[in-house]
């Protein structure tokens, strides 16, 4: 890891956090649900689904099951973009995807 400059020229105080994995949501309980999924051995997609499911409870006006999902994932071989806006089509089959 490169040396990190801890000097903060701004009046606000923020402490840098270094981690291998991170989960970010607008509600701390949803982020905790995603982190717990990682602690239990899940991957980034598992954590995203756990966090999104928790968001339907803690911020129901901000998220719902089957809502949008956007992510950039590394699947060991290459970088993948996950773009899943809106609801799945009603007549979608596994072959379509």
- Whether 21 maps to a domain, the answer reads no
* 11 contact partners, CB below 8 Å, separation of at least 6: none
- Whether 83 maps to a domain, the answer reads yes
- Whether 7 maps to a domain, the answer reads no
The rounded distance, in Å, linking the Cα atoms of 15 and 61 is 31
- Whether 1 maps to a domain, the answer reads no
- Whether 64 maps to a domain, the answer reads yes
- Whether 5 maps to a domain, the answer reads no
Taking Cα atoms as reference points, which of 85, 59, 60 lies closest to residue 71? 85
Q: How do the pLDDT tens digits run along the chain, 97 residues long?
A: 577 777 777 777 766 677 778 888 889 999 999 999 999 999 888 998 899 899 999 998 877 776 677 778 877 888 888 777 766 667 777 787 6
- Whether 62 maps to a domain, the answer reads yes
Domain housing 83: 28-96
- Whether 8 maps to a domain, the answer reads no
Tally of domains in the chain: 1
């Amino acid at each position: 890891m490169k040396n990190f400059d801890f000097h903060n020229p701004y009046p606000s105080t923020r402490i840098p956090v270094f981690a291998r994995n991170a989960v970010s949501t607008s509600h701390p309980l949803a982020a905790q649900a995603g982190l717990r999924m990682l602690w239990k051995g899940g991957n980034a997609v598992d954590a995203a689904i756990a966090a999104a499911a928790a968001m339907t409870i803690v911020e129901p006006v901000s998220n719902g099951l089957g809502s949008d999902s956007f992510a950039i994932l590394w699947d060991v071989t290459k970088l993948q973009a996950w773009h899943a806006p809106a609801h799945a089509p009603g007549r979608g089959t596994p072959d379509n995807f």
